[in-house]
Structures are given as C-alpha cells and as structure tokens.
Chain A
Amino acid sequence: MKRAKPKVRNTIRELRLAADGMTQQALAERVGCTRQTILLLEQERYTPSLVLAMRIARTFDKRVDQVFQIDGD
C-alpha cells in the first residue's frame, strides 16, 4: 500500500512578519534562495532541503522543529 507523503507545515510567514516585516526578498537573500522559493515555502507547496531549513531557522533564531512541523506528528 502506498503511503501518503507527510505534509510539512511551517511558520515562516508569521516569523518573517514578526521580524519587523522582513520582505520575502530580504529573507531569500539571507538564506541564499530565490524569492519564488520563499513564496512557495510560505504557501507550504515546497519542502526545503535540510540545509535551507536550518538556514531559515537560524535566521529567526529558532530551532528547525520550531519553524517546520510534520503534519499529524
């Protein structure tokens, strides 16, 4: 039986807006990705690599599991 892929939720948008309304472009530049990827991440339509997830978490001074959560866990 094929298992459904787990959905990864995140709080990037909330954290970004809480950080003095940081723009998507600014966040993208800080973590080394494109603005389109940040937008897809915020829409939870893309799950990042571990490296990118760690960079994002570090930007907001959080742990990875505080930014990304697996749905249902």
Chain B
Amino acid sequence: MFWLYLGAAVLLGGLTLAIAHHLLRGGTDVEAGGLTTLQKRAWIGIAAGVAAAMGLIAVFLVRGLELYDEHPATRLLVYSLIGCGVAIHSFVVPRTWRGEPRSWADERDLRVFERAPAVQGVAVLLALAIWTILLTEWFQSSGSIPIVFPSLIFLSTFFVHLVSVSFGILIGYRRSLREAWE
C-alpha cells in the first residue's frame, strides 16, 4: 500500500513538473536554441524538490501524523527524504555565486541567479501563510496545536526556501533580461 501511494505521489510529481515545464516554456532561451546549463540545473533541482515533496506527502498520507510523532523510523524516513531532496538540489543548483567564473555560465546567467532570491522570499511567505491558514482552520475548535507541527513548519519552509531558487532562476530567464546592468 505504501509503495502504491509513493508511486502515485511520484506520478503526480511528474505531472506537476510537466505542467510547470509547459507553462514556463516559450521563454527566451527555448526560442534562443536550447536551455542554458543553469536552466537545466534548475529543472533538475525542481524535479528533485517535487519528488521529495511528493514522497513526504505519501509518507504522511500512509503513516499519519501520529506515527511521525511516535515512531522514530517514520521520522527517519521523513528526514531522509528531505535530506535527499536538499542534497540533490544543492549539488545541481549553486547556493552562492560570488561572481567567480564558471565554465558553464556567463554574465547573463549570473544576473538571473542574482535575482532568484526575490522569488524565495515570496515562496517562504506563501508557505507560512498556507501553514497558518490550515492550522487555524484545523485546530480552531481544540484551541491548541500538536507539538509535531513546529518542526514540520520549519522543515517545510526550509525546503521551500531551497527549491524556490530554481523557480526564481526559470522565471528570471522567462522575464527576458535585456541588459547586463538592468
């Protein structure tokens, strides 16, 4: 049953990715003859993020929040999924870029990369807003929130913060940067 859910989650992740790709294509570089290396890396980063997120959703759907709270193996599975997503994303998408030359990137890539954190801020705010609304709606009547949620909020927000850089990069290319100093 678990693998069925996991498979469905991965399938849903793939579908999400395909839709995102369809929506984001048509940007400058598709017309300009292929994706840049940074764009390819951003897509791989998003794929890793979506796959890990779908895996997490599958774990919580199958095992439930109670098991996460009480069962160390479930917590380990959750941390492993987050760790894998973070590791793959960090490997393919640079975390910092201090202007040093990279063989696969140029000044335009660097400018796009420098602008990507703007999307991070919005994504983190959105994630926190969603958590706030959901928790308020779910636990309004009980008046208290289970202790498991603070760590989940932190982990998910950290994850969103990391993966949203890739979205920022893709949006940056789509916005068709026109000038090096813009």
Contacts and interface: CB of A to CB of B under 8 A. Distances in A.
Interface of A: 5, 32-37, 39-40, 43, 45-49, 51-52
A35 B39 CA distance: 14
A34 B105 CA distance: 7
Given A34-B37, A37-B106, A49-B180, 10 more contacts: A34-B36, A36-B29, A36-B108, A39-B33, A40-B32, A45-B178, A47-B178, A48-B107, A52-B106, A52-B107
A52 B32 CA distance: 19
A34 B108 contact: yes
B143 interface: no
A34 B106 contact: yes
Contact of B101 (A32, A36, A40, A43): A32
A39 B36 CA distance: 12
B28 A45 contact: yes
Interface of B, helix, strand, loop or mixed by DSSP: loop
B109 to A, nearest CB: 7
Contacts of A49: 107, 180-181
B16 interface: no
B34 A36 contact: yes
Interface string B146-182: 0000000000000000000000000000001111110
Interface in B1-51: 28-29, 32-34, 36-37
Contacts of A52: 106-107, 180
B33 A46 contact: no
Nearest to B110: A49
A59 to B, nearest CB: 15
Nearest to B177: A46
Contacts of B105: 34
Contacts of A47: 178-180
Contacts of A33: 106-108
Contacts of B104: 34
B106 A32 contact: yes
18 contacts: A32-B101, A33-B106, A34-B105, A34-B108, A34-B109, A35-B34, A36-B33, A37-B106, A39-B33, A40-B28, A40-B32, A40-B108, A45-B176, A47-B178, A48-B107, A48-B180, A49-B180, A52-B107
A39 B104 CA distance: 16
A39 B32 CA distance: 6
B169 to A, nearest CB: 14
